[in-house]
Structure formats: C-alpha cells, structure tokens
A and B are shown apart, each in its own frame.
Chain A
Amino acid sequence: MRSVAETCDDRRVPENPGEAADAPPRLERRADGRIAAGVCRGLADHLGIDLVIVRVAFAVLIGAGVGVIAYVALWLLVPQRSDVRPRRDWTQLFAYGVLIGVLSAFTLTSVTERRALWPLVAGGVGVGIIWQQADPEHRRRWVRNTRSLWIRSVVGAALVIAGLAAFLLQNIQHVGQVLLGSTIVLAGVGVIVTPYLLRMWHDLDDERRERIRSQERAEVAAHVHDSVLHTLTLIQRNAHDPKEVQRLARAQERDLRAWLYQPKADAEQALAPAVRKISAEVEDHHGVPIEVVCVGDCPLDERLGAMLQAAREAMVNAAKYGGGANGETPSVSVYAEVDGDEVMIFVRDRGRGFDLDAVPVDRMGVRESIIGRMERNGGKAEIRTAPGEGTEVRLELKRS
C-alpha cells in the first residue's frame, strides 16, 4: 500500500535509500510537476534554492534573451530522472509563459510602448505574490470555478477586450469616448475580479474566526488545567481524608461555576459578590456547603462592610454548630436582598438550634459581633432559634 501511495503522490519523490541524507541530490531533470523540461526543478533540488526563485530567474533570463541558450543547453546535457511519472503543471506553465511573454515584450518593444506595459507588469507581480503566498488548498479553491464564474469571466474578458479595442482601433479625440472606453475596461476588470476578491475576503474572514475560536479553546484548556486538573491531583493525594476531598471538590465546583456562569464582579465594590466571596471563604474553612442566593445589588460602603462582617460571623456559627440534628448533612442557606434602600441578609442552618436566653451574657460571638455590630451601625439583628428547628439570623440595614 505504501509504495502505491508514494508513486501516486506526484509531489514527493521517494528518497533514494543509497543516498546519504545530507548530500545534495544529483543534478537531474525532474519530470514531475515540470513546466517545460524539468530543468528548473532539478536545478532547485540540486542547489537547495527555492524553486520559485530559480524559475523566476530563468523567466527573466529567457525574457532578456540569453536564458534560452542556457535552458536548452541544460535540457540537452542533464539526464532525466527515471523513477517518477512525468506530469506537466499547466497552471504554472501558463503563469511563467505570461511572465516570459511580458518580459520579451519589454526587450523587443520601443520605449514608448513600454510605458503602457508597466501597469500590466505591476498588476502581474501583485497577482503572482498573492498566488505564491496562498497555500495549495486556497489556490485550488480559487481556481475551482463554478459555471457562473466561468460565464462571468468570459463576459468580463469580452468587456475588457471591447474597451481596449475601442482605445486602439479608433483614433480617440473626445474626452467622452476616452471615458466610455475606460469605463468599459474597468467594468470588465470588475466583473472578472470581484468574485475572486470576495472569495479571498471570505477566506480571510473564516481564518480570523477560526483564530478566535482556537484562542477561546486555548483559554478554556488553560483554565481547566490550572484549576480542575490541579484539584483532581489534590483529591487523589488526599483520598484518605473524606472531609478534605469534599472541601476541595466543593471549592472547585464553586470556582468553575463562577467562571462559567457569573459575570465578573468586584467583591470590593458591590454587595452580592462580597456576600458570595465571604460565604466561599467560610465554606472553604469549615467544609460545610453554603447555598447563596442574592437578589438585587448595591455598592458597598462602610456600614454595609460591618453588616458583612456580622453576616460572616453568623455563617461561621452556622457552619460550626449547624450540623444536622439527625445526622443529616449540614447545610447553610444565605439569602441577601437589596430592596430599594433596605438591605437584608438571612443566614439559616438546620442544626440543633439553641435557647437564646441560655447563652451567657459574656459570650462574644452572637451578642457582640452580630447584634452589637449591627446596632452600632444603625441596623438590627434578629436571631430566631428553637431547639430542634435550626437557627436563622436576620440582619437588616437601611442604606444611607
């Protein structure tokens, strides 16, 4: 199978097994992908120079006249390589034929006529450069013409010829006629060139889109690598510690969720992101899942900062003492709402609950850092709890 594939592939020639890898190949004419006799192709292989350079150099030399002798001499003297199937590259032949034709016209014509040829040369060089830069896939797509494209090209060519004929055959005297002729020529060029330009434009567009997509993919891959893979490694390493595994998984889930679904928000600036951030910290630290729901949002100020501290204290308490009464998994719900100028935060657990009046007066946690803090800042805190029913801390503050 392999050898068949190789002989069918007319671009690549199987390496000669006896040849040293780094020695330049012998000077041989190559019949595969040749234009005339395969001289340039063989020469390029032998000298290690780009094929295009050799070909253009020969085209220039032939156009100037001297190259013809050199080419014919090489054709006769250099043996043809026998192990490849001859195949002529017609499009290239056409391109270099035109190049040689134009150059010959330069050497053979007078000075005044040359001026007329300059725009043609400039245009030709431009097209040549674009053609050379494009990869084979693109070239094939440009050349593969649909019927409408052929018709268009024929119509365009007819217009160009008609316009040129008008220039050349009539002895043009009037400005009007000049304009008419030019317009016809331009219209012809437009008709021929537009579909090609459009196709090129689409190609560029596709390429740009593909680039953006691959950038996005790269970003996702980077994120997955930095966070998820890292966490998975840590989980494997901590497999013996279920609590740590749960904490890691939960932290990773939160992180991924935030990345996927939540708009980037600044926890220093606004209430809702700040509440999420604080609960994430408590969750991380105590290994208890906290479900956060935020409705509305407002910018942070000093008093709201104090309120957040109180909320944090309440979350810590809930995470510590909110363990399920009947052995169920502890869970903490946090709900923050901004309604007009009223801000409310609820922290609820489903733990054992406690008798509020039984809490000693000197216990700092609840009294000082939650109730006291809220009152100092002009808000209020309310704690509802009963044995067996869990605890809910309700914080309220009027925005200034």
Chain B
Amino acid sequence: MTRVVLVDDHQMFRSGVKAELGDSVEIVGEAGDVDEAVEVIAATRPDVVLLDVHLPGGGGVEVLRRVLGGARSGPAEGATADQAAPTRFLALSVSDAAEDVIGVIRGGARGYVTKTISGPELTSAIGRVAEGDAVFSPRLAGFVLDAFAATDAPSIDPELDQLTQREREVLRLIARGYAYKEIAKELFISVKTVETHVSSVLRKLQLSNRHELSRWAAARRLV
C-alpha cells in the first residue's frame, strides 16, 4: 500500500483528509510545520508526501528544498540517489494563485491539486504520483498553457521552452475537465502515452527558463 505523510498546519484539515482517504492508503506520519515535516519525512521515508503550500516556517517550498536538497538526482525525479524508493510530493492547497502553483512545482512537486478535490480523486492522484507520474489539475493545465503561449521572444532552449502540439492538446483536455482515460480515448492514444506527455510537460515546467515561469516563481522568491 502507498505510504503517505500528511503535511498541513491545520489539524482539522488533516483529520478530514485522513477520513476521506480511509483505508486506501497508509498514513505513516503527520506534520504541522516545516521542521516537523522534514523530520517526519526523514524518519518514515514515505512514498508520497501530501504537502500544503502555505506552512509556518517557510511554506511547502522550504520542505521541498530541505528534503530534496542539493542531493537530488534530477529535478524532475525528486529522489535522492541513495534512496531505494524515492519520496514524491503532491502539493495540496486552497490557493490557486499561479505563484503558489508554479512555485511548488518548480520546487520539485510532482503534482498540484486543490483542497476541494474529492476523496476518490485524491486517492487516484496519490497513486499516480507514487508511480512517478504527474498530476495536473485543470487550473494548473491552464497556467501552463498560459505560460507557454506563443511569444515573440526568442527562446534560449526550444526543447525546454516550448510545448509540442500533442502536449498542448493533452493540457487543453485536462483544462476542459477530462480524466486521463477520457483524454486517451479522445486522442486515440494509450493512457500510458498521456502520462508520458504530462510528465514531459512537468519536466519542462521545472527546468524551463521561460519568462512567465521565472516571474511567477520570483513572486514568491523561489527562483
């Protein structure tokens, strides 16, 4: 079963999430601030950390920075080399401001969902993140499409700074409220391929130096 650590400064919200997730995952730890989170994650080595963006002590980004640190093997992977199973992060927040969303993704989270998400949806998002895939909410997809919109500015690294036509189509469908299965059906591709596209978008999101991304990240001093 997926081992999960819950990081949120609201006790009430944590118990709510626990009740919603029920027996579908194993909650191995909880934390209410940055220091506690870093400690619990180091002690329990969970598969997935459900991470609140706004936390006392520096926010979710600070947790990502301290846990993934300089030792991460690849920014998109979010795993330390010596760890057998890498810990992956799924950001969970009430905020849907671009600065928060993009900031935490660039910090190393594999996905972003808002707290209005339903229990079953959250379970499936956790499962997907645990397997190393990315989880995009419709709103995050919208932000990405906005950020990668065609501009006149020449890109430094076209491979990273532009989305392919296919990735764009996948993101559009996510923004329209389609589930991965529905996207696969719509585009006549397999669910695995949809996941590959989304992961590739996530990588670009984390590594690209596009102006909009750095601006959003800079707005929370996260560059």
User: Could you list which residues of chain A lie within 8 angstroms of chain B, going by C-beta atoms?
Assistant: 257, 260-261, 289, 291, 293-296, 329, 331, 333, 335, 337, 340, 346, 348, 350, 392
Say how far A152's CB is from chain B's closest CB, in angstroms: 37
Contact status B145-A295, CB under 8 Å: yes
Contact status A337-B96, CB under 8 Å: no
In the assembled complex, which residues on chain A have CB atoms less than 8 Å from the CB atom of B139?
291, 293
Say how far B103's CB is from chain A's closest CB, in angstroms: 13
Q: Find A392's partner among B146, B172, B176 (CB 8 Å cutoff).
A: B176
CA distance A340 to B141 in the complex (A): 19
Contact status B175-A295, CB under 8 Å: yes
Contact status A291-B138, CB under 8 Å: yes
> Can you list 21 contacts pairing A with B, beta carbon distance less than 8 Å?
A260-B97, A261-B95, A289-B116, A291-B138, A291-B177, A293-B139, A293-B142, A294-B142, A295-B142, A295-B149, A295-B175, A331-B177, A333-B138, A335-B138, A335-B172, A335-B177, A337-B145, A340-B150, A346-B176, A348-B177, A392-B176
6 shortest interchain CB distances as A-B pairs: A333-B177, A293-B142, A261-B97, A335-B176, A295-B145, A293-B175
Interface contacts beyond A260-B95, A289-B116, A331-B177: sample of 11 additional A-B pairs, CB < 8 Å, sorted by A:
A261-B95, A293-B142, A295-B142, A295-B145, A295-B175, A333-B138, A333-B176, A333-B177, A335-B175, A346-B176, A348-B178
The interface residues of chain B, by DSSP majority, are classed as loop
Contact status B138-A261, CB under 8 Å: no
CA distance A289 to B116 in the complex (A): 11
In the assembled complex, which residues on chain A have CB atoms less than 8 Å from the CB atom of B95?
260-261
A297: nearest chain-B partner, CB-CB: B146
In the assembled complex, which residues on chain A have CB atoms less than 8 Å from the CB atom of B142?
293-295, 335
Contact status A295-B96, CB under 8 Å: no
In the assembled complex, which residues on chain A have CB atoms less than 8 Å from the CB atom of B97?
260-261
Interface residues on B, range: 10 to 19
CA distance A350 to B142 in the complex (A): 20
In the assembled complex, which residues on chain B have CB atoms less than 8 Å from the CB atom of A295?
142, 145-146, 149, 175
* Residue from the set A257, A260, A293, A350 with the largest chain B CB neighbour count within 10 Å: A293
Say how far B121's CB is from chain A's closest CB, in angstroms: 10
In the assembled complex, which residues on chain A have CB atoms less than 8 Å from the CB atom of B175?
293, 295, 335, 337
In the assembled complex, which residues on chain A have CB atoms less than 8 Å from the CB atom of B150?
340
* Residue from the set B116, B118, B142 with the largest chain A CB neighbour count within 10 Å: B142
CA distance A359 to B205 in the complex (A): 44
Residues facing A in B171-223 (CB within 8 A) are 172, 175-178
**Known contacts A261-B96, A295-B145; A337 and B177 CB within 8 A of each other:** no
CA distance A291 to B177 in the complex (A): 9
In the assembled complex, which residues on chain A have CB atoms less than 8 Å from the CB atom of B178?
348
In the assembled complex, which residues on chain B have CB atoms less than 8 Å from the CB atom of A337?
145, 172, 175
In the assembled complex, which residues on chain A have CB atoms less than 8 Å from the CB atom of B146?
295-296
In the assembled complex, which residues on chain A have CB atoms less than 8 Å from the CB atom of B141?
293
CA distance A296 to B138 in the complex (A): 15
In the assembled complex, which residues on chain B have CB atoms less than 8 Å from the CB atom of A260?
95, 97
CA distance A261 to B216 in the complex (A): 13
Contact with A along B161-176 (1 / 0, CB 8 A): 0000000000010011
Say how far A77's CB is from chain B's closest CB, in angstroms: 66
Q: Find A293's partner among B118, B138, B149 (CB 8 Å cutoff).
A: B138
CA distance A296 to B145 in the complex (A): 9
Say how far B77's CB is from chain A's closest CB, in angstroms: 28
Say how far B58's CB is from chain A's closest CB, in angstroms: 20
A295: nearest chain-B partner, CB-CB: B145
Say how far B211's CB is from chain A's closest CB, in angstroms: 16
